């Protein structure tokens, strides 16, 4: 496939370019947001596996004619700009950007009526297995267990809690048999009083070069269940995104998730 990557100068964009080359695909376009220091630079100087003499352009200035798909790890503004181009050119789109608003999500849902869109807060195969295991645990756990979510990322991450942690919260709420269990509590300080059975603690850590760590705790009397995923490299996230792109080949319009890609749905 001939694939365009938005956010090519970022850690994830560069990892996607490497994985595309490893899996035999061609990088057909490289995009960055307005004002990016990477604009007009040669892609081969930024990302491994990139073809020579290809320049990084803005989303608005990109050439989409030959592209068979687009992978986006940029910013909410970049994602929305790319979404418009994808719809205009009927190009399948994989979105891994986090921090999107409800309005952005509605725009993605609308676009999925025209093109295939794979949208997930985390493209990792392992994280999506974690999603499935948390769904099973939340559906099965009896009353009396307290649920907490912890996530940790590198010091440069701009949003908190992570999109993955938010999705874990949603899964617990969607799957739990316990009415009202999902009231979020973001950190605790001072005299908070006893923990209620109607809350889920959400804790975020930022530091160093942590790629990503997520744990869901189910804490009962005399025992604790911990479901954890630790990412040791961005390659697993990039690989999942490229697998998702491959999944869109021949698919009709629709909003897909990694559950669809991996056959969990």
Residue 52 and residue 82 in one domain? yes
Backbone angles phi, psi at 216, to 5 degrees: -110, 125
- pTM of the predicted structure, to 2 decimals: 0.81
Q: What is the mean pLDDT of residues 33-61?
A: 88
What residues are labeled active site?
153, 157
Specify whether 238 is located in the same domain as 224: no
Quick one: 214 and 241 in the same domain?
Answer: no
Residues 6+ apart with CB under 8 A from 27: 3, 4, 5, 17, 20, 21, 43, 47, 49, 50, 51, 54
Verify that 9 and 103 share a domain, yes or no: yes
Range(s) of the domain holding residue 101? 2-119+234-262
Regarding whether 220 and 92 lie in a shared domain, the answer is no
In this prediction, residue 265 carries a pLDDT of: 67
Question: Facing residues of 227 across strands?
Answer: 216
Distances (CA, A) of 172 to 30, 32, 148, 165, 200: 37, 35, 10, 11, 9
Q: Do residues 59 and 88 share a domain? A: yes
Q: Domain containing 47 — which CATH number? A: 3.40.50.720
Residues 238 and 112 in one domain: yes
pLDDT tens-digit readout, 220-254: 999 999 999 999 988 899 999 999 999 999 999 99
Number of domains in the chain: 2
Q: Tens digits of per-residue pLDDT, 142-196?
A: 888 999 999 999 999 988 999 899 999 999 999 887 665 678 999 899 999 999 8
The CATH number of residue 140's host domain is 3.30.360.10
Q: Could you tell me if 110 and 9 lie in one domain?
A: yes
For the chain, what percent of residues have pLDDT higher than 70?
Answer: 98
Q: Cα(15)–Cα(242) distance, rounded to whole angstroms? A: 10
Note whether 130 and 210 are same-domain residues.
Answer: yes
Residues 222 and 239 both lie in one domain: no
* Distance in angstroms (rounded) separating the CA atoms of residues 153 and 158: 10
Both 172 and 248 in one domain: the answer is no
217 in the same domain as 139: yes
pLDDT 10s digits, 159-173: 899 989 999 999 999
């Amino acid at each position: 496939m001939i694939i365009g990557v938005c956010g090519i100068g970022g850690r994830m964009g560069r990892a996607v370019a490497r994985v595309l080359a490893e899996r035999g695909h061609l990088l057909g376009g490289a995009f960055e947001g307005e004002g990016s220091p990477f604009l007009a630079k040669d892609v081969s100087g930024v990302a491994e596996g990139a073809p020579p003499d290809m320049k990084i352009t803005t989303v608005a200035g990109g050439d989409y004619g030959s592209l068979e798909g687009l992978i986006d790890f940029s910013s909410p503004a970049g994602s929305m700009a790319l979404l418009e181009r994808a719809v205009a050119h009927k190009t399948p789109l994989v979105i891994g950007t986090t921090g999107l608003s409800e309005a952005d999500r509605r725009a993605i849902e609308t676009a999925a009526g025209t093109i295939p869109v794979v949208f997930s807060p985390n493209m990792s195969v392992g994280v999506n297995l974690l999603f499935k295991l948390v769904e099973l645990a939340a559906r099965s756990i009896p009353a009396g267990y307290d649920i907490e979510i912890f996530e940790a990322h590198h010091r440069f991450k701009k949003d908190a809690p992570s999109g993955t942690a938010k999705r874990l919260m949603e899964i617990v709420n969607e799957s739990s048999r316990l009415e009202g269990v999902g009231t979020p509590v973001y950190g605790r300080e001072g005299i908070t009083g006893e923990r209620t059975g109607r809350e889920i603690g959400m804790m975020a850590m930022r530091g160093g070069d942590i790629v990503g760590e997520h744990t869901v705790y189910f804490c009962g009397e005399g025992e604790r269940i911990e479901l954890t995923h630790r990412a040791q490299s961005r390659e697993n996230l990039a690989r999942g995104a490229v697998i998702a792109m491959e999944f869109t080949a021949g698919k009709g319009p629709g909003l897909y998730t990694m559950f669809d890609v991996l056959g969990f749905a």
